[in-house]
Amino acid sequence: MYTPDLELSTPRLKLRLPRAGDAALILDYVSRNKKFHTDTNPVASPDFYTESFWNDRIEQLRDEYHGDHSLRLYMSLHEDPSRFIGAASLSQITRGPLQACYLGYTLDCEAEGKGLMTEALKTVIAYAFDSMHLHRIMANHLPENKRSANVLARLGFRIDGSTPDYLFINGKWREHVMTSLTNPNWRPREEDRAMFEDLRTPSTN
């Protein structure tokens, strides 16, 4: 399951785990979109916009992937693989009886309105459900972020409610809409199978 250099493909996109040497590519992406993402993302530390930060962060992200804690993929167009135009992440992966994670994503300002994020996330969700055997994916967005809301709706996410003062973004605590998607064909990973059989077995104590 945990391949050293995971890559997913869609008709227009390649999504892959970051590798050593990708720091400059990621820095270029986040720097290009610093102002564009200000209204939807928490404030980043100053070193977030340095190559040294990303050299260390890439190693951490790869360790988190191999430890089954998170998966962050960076996306590029097939015709321009040397330029990242977005990112998608499955974070806070929780096993046990929950088998869930949080979905996050960002897109280049010049790539909006082309259906690229919907295309990318369909493949990420399929991987999460079919290969990672996750049961639930949760995703949250600002109420006014209609593009994000529309992407999630197209993917089948349902609205579970809203939470006030959820994240500190752009100088204040912001309400978020909470959504989720469940795996209709879920089955446990082999390493979790015994636990779920135990959960289905009534206690004799």
Please tell me the distance from the alpha carbon of residue 179 to that of residue 90, in angstroms, as a whole number: 14
Q: Taking CA 83 as the corner, what is the angle to CA 79 and CA 86, rounded to the nearest 5 degrees?
A: 100
**SS3 string of 27-42?**
HHHHHHCCCCCCCCCC
Task: Please tell me the pTM assigned to this model.
Answer: 0.92
Answer for the pair 163, 178: CB distance below 8 angstroms, yes or no: yes
- The H-or-E segment that residue 75 falls in is strand 71-77
Please tell me the distance from the alpha carbon of residue 8 to that of residue 18, in angstroms, as a whole number: 12
**Helix residue spans in 131-169 (DSSP H):** 146-154
Topology of domain 7-200 in CATH is: Aminopeptidase (3.40.630)
In 3D, which of 101, 86, 106 has the Cα closest to residue 147?
A: 106
The encoded tokens of residue 161 equal 């409610």
* Per-residue pLDDT in tens (0 to 9) along the chain, 205 residues: 667 789 999 999 999 999 999 999 999 999 999 988 888 888 888 899 999 999 999 999 999 999 999 999 999 999 999 999 999 999 999 999 999 999 999 999 999 999 999 999 999 999 999 999 999 999 999 999 999 999 999 999 999 999 999 999 988 999 999 999 999 999 999 999 888 886 555 555 5
Indicate the residue type of 146. K
The encoded tokens of residue 77 equal 């167009």
User: In this predicted structure, what is the pLDDT of residue 3?
Assistant: 74
Answer for the pair 175, 140: CB distance below 8 angstroms, yes or no: no
- What φ, ψ does residue 77 adopt, rounded to 5°? -75, 145
In 3D, which of 51, 25, 55, 30 has the Cα closest to residue 41?
A: 30
User: In this predicted structure, what is the pLDDT of residue 156?
Assistant: 97
**Domain residue extents for the chain:** 7-200
